[in-house]
Structure 1
Amino acid sequence: MPVSPCGDGCLTSGAPTVAFPRRVLRIAGAVGVVLTALAASPLLMVARVREPLVRWIFRSVLRAFGVRLLVHGGDEFRHDEAGRGALVVNNHISWLDIVAVNALRPMRALAKKEIASWPVLGGLVARGGSIFLDRERLSTLPGTVAELAAALRGGSLVSVTPEGTTWCGLATGRFAPAAFQAAIDGGVPVRPLALRYRLADGRETTQPAFIGPESLIDSLRRVARLRGLVLEVFVCEEIAPGRAADRKELAALAESAVHSALGTVHAPRHTRVVPVAQPEPRPAPAV
């Protein structure tokens, strides 16, 4: 299984923080959103209201933690017709990734089975139709890929984090090809998303990263104390079915698109990715 070398030493310093009472209010607000979502879960069975409700839930989680979401490009993706399946892949930094992707456009997810037991997001992810992967029993992987392909073929958008684990953001992992086989089998495009976390003054930060042996609660507390956190999402061009010869090439194309959007060096396998200087991104409307 992929193992990230990122740990406490990867956390950037100097991030502004909010006072303790504000942190408590943020956690309480997020819990309130989740409880509201659970109470409204019967409405998820109504197709007409499902997507607006899910989008509201995840955007409300971002607002509760004081996170500003900026989306670059992808207007056609955000307003694409329902019933058109696609494999949506992104670099994996934080539990906030799940929130951001669904705030952009609600979709199913391929997730490790442990997420189902998470106290804040687990219930929402499970009720959203997630496909769970048992990473302790890789013999089940072919069946999971087949289930994923069937969902894509049936018109679902499914979010996958092909790095297989979280990284700090300044370093990244390789995109494993297994899930991309489902896109090939399902005959659907791949839509890469590139995520980056920065502060209001423009500095990139690794503080939201879910790294090392820490618990979800520890990560929630660290995010709750940040002031002016900005989560940027770059929507890359979709990779059409048939463009890649096989799943390895398809994974490489998606990985390259993410690095290009973020302005990072595409490093050889088994090495870290080092960010390079790039111009300040053009302003984008808050979502």
Structure 2
Amino acid sequence: MTDVPVSAPRNEGLARMLYRFRQSRLSMIGAVMVALVLLFAVFGPVLAPYPEHVAGGVDTAARFQPPSPAHPFGTNELGQDVLSLTMAGTTVSVLAGFGVVLIGAVIGTVVGAVAGYVGGWTDEVLMRFTDLTLTIPGLILAMAIAAALGPGFQNMVLAISLSWWPGYARLVRGEVLAAREEVYVTAARATGAGPGRILFRHVLPNCVSPIIVKMSLDMGFAILTVAGLGFIGIGVRPPTPEWGTLLSNARSYMPDYWWTAMAPGAAMFVAVFGFNLLGDGLRDILDPKGRR
């Protein structure tokens, strides 16, 4: 009798998920957009046609040139190529957004998992603190923390992350409350497994799908928040290019030199729209409760 490989059902399930994902045209468009954004996030500074401008070089003789074959998105007030700055700024914006989502997801998952599994007064204290954090607008809280910590990439990511975790805490708490009553949890208790082992080895692995879906949907909003802090001047320090900072500089020269805002604005649109479409596609294949 021929043994069937254990990985066969898993590979078959993965193939089915990929098939369902490919059936959605919008999801595929989102995947292409995200792939393009990630490409520029990794290789943007290298692919930039004017790397000297990315490093802070200026060319005052070429300031405010309109879009042309040499400068597809024109030049800014310092004569720097706007396309090069936008391509290099993709790295900062995407890395910051990913850092915010990852840190927020880790903090929120731990808080929500402990609250949902332990219950009692621990649940009450953690959830009331979560609710208190949710009453403060995320951008306002991030602005206050970033202003206290000072400008810089690390401080910006930390500031936004501290306002990002409550959504994950509430999501994970609900998933854990449902999962802790499952048969496999009862079986784990019967074998003598401790609370920590049950929570992190049995319960949380079955809550990964909705967390991944929320992370993919949150990426676009995290990038917008990062750009918002850069726009008001408490993001990364110049001359590091970042989409929000580029838009902030361009607003002083609108509408006469409209092209200075065109490239960073279009890049933000592609990134946010792409991650939202990708998140919708992942929700359809990973989260049965969220399928349309």
Do they fold alike, i.e. is TM over 0.5? no
TM-score, length-scaled by structure 2: 0.26
Q: Which has the larger radius of gyration?
A: 2
Larger proportion of strand:
1
